[in-house]
Amino acid sequence: YYEVFLRQSSVEPCLLFHEGGHWRELTVRTNSQGHTMAIITFHPQGLSQEELCVQKVTLKDFFTKGPGAVCELTSLYFQESTMTRCSHQQSPYQLLFGEPHIFEDLLGLKIRISPDAFFQINTAGAELLYQTIGELSGVNSDTILLDICCVIGLSLAQRASQVLGIELVEQAIEDARAEKILPQLLKSQKDEKSTVAVVNPARAGLHYQVVQAIRNCRAIHTLVFVSCKPHGYAVLQTLLRSSS
Catalytic residue among 14, 86, 217, 228: 228
pLDDT at 184: 55
Lowest mean pLDDT among 1-15, 83-97, 166-180, 184-198: 166-180
Q: Please check whether residues 229 and 136 belong to one and the same domain.
A: yes
Binding-site positions:
120, 167, 200
The CA angle 117-184-239, to the nearest 5 degrees, is 70
Q: Which domain holds residue 207?
A: 120-240
If asked whether residues 133 and 71 sit together in one domain, one would say: no
The burial of 73, by beta-carbon neighbours within 10 Å (0-12 exposed, 13-18 middle, 19 or more buried), is given as buried
Instruction: Among 3-12, 115-124, 165-174, name the one with the lowest average pLDDT.
Output: 165-174
Q: Tell me the pTM.
A: 0.76
Residue 159: pLDDT band (50, 70, 90) is: confident
**Separation of alpha carbons 179 and 228, rounded Å:** 22
The structural domain count of the chain equals 2
Amino acid at 80: E
222 torsion bin: left (phi>0), alpha (psi -120 to 50), beta (else)? beta
* Contact status, residue 29 vs residue 102, Cβ threshold 8 Å: yes
The full length of the chain comes to: 244
Please give the residue that has the higher pLDDT: either 244 or 204: 204
Nearest-angstrom CA–CA distance, 190 and 187? 8
Q: Say whether 14 is catalytic.
A: no
pLDDT tens track for 90-148: 889 999 999 999 998 888 888 888 888 778 888 899 899 889 988 888 888 888 888 87
Q: What is the DSSP string of 18-44?
A: GG---EEEEEEEE-TT--EEEEEEE--
Domain boundary (47, 76, 103) is at: 103
CATH of the domain at 210: 3.40.50.150
Q: Is 9 in the same domain as 87? A: yes
Residues 111, 181: Cα–Cα separation, whole Å: 26
- Please, which residues have CB within 8 angstroms of residue 72's CB and are 6 or more apart in sequence? 36
Q: Report how far residue 161's alpha carbon sits from residue 211's, in angstroms, rounded to the nearest whole number.
A: 24
Q: Is residue 194 part of a domain?
A: yes
